[in-house]
Amino acid sequence: MGIKDDAVEVRAQGWRTLAALHGSIEAELEKALQSAVELSVVEYTVLDALSRQDGWHMRMQQLARATALSSSATTRLVNRLEDRGLLTRILCADDRRGIYTELTSAGQKLLLEAKPAHDETLAAALASAELVPELEPLVKALGALQGV
């Protein structure tokens, strides 16, 4: 095996590690958010993204990118949250194709309620991942990223 081949193998190994860590964290968050506030991980992601947005509104496309979802999935995701009264659609005045979504006060309230559960579960998931030998270095590396 030459140096080049090693690089390929290192990348593949890194990807498997990344996927494994992502999968285990997501599964734990899913369970915790579901039982605490009946939200899926992507639903939480939407509420959280909106709350961290100036003016608390985003267009569908931005939301699609933030959640790594297709635009059709985003439509239905927003439908679900709108039906529960957690956000509202607002037509763009300047570009009438566009639609802004905005958190309602119920949405803000639910997010506040969900956040502690989310953060605790995330901490616990990272801690338990750190005990798995294959995952431990990546967890350490993740913690070392400066949070902007």
Residues at the interface with DNA (CB under 7 A):
31, 40, 42, 59-61, 68-80, 89, 95-99
CB of 43 to a copy of itself, least distance (A): 14
72 touches 61 (CB < 8 A): no
Residue 51 or 88 with smaller CB distance to DNA: 88
CB of 86 to a copy of itself, least distance (A): 20
Nearest to 18 by CA among 145, 146, 144, 134: 134
Binding-site partner at residue 77 among DNA, a copy of itself, none, CB < 5 to 8 Å by type = DNA
Binding-site partner at residue 35 among DNA, a copy of itself, none, CB < 5 to 8 Å by type = none
Cα→Cα distances 17→8, 14, 123, 142, Å: 14, 5, 18, 12
CB of 139 to DNA, least distance (A): 22
Residue 24 or 128 with smaller CB distance to DNA: 24
The end-to-end CA distance of the chain, in Å, is 39
Residue 4 or 96 with smaller CB distance to DNA: 96
Enumerate the β-bridge partners of residue 90. 100
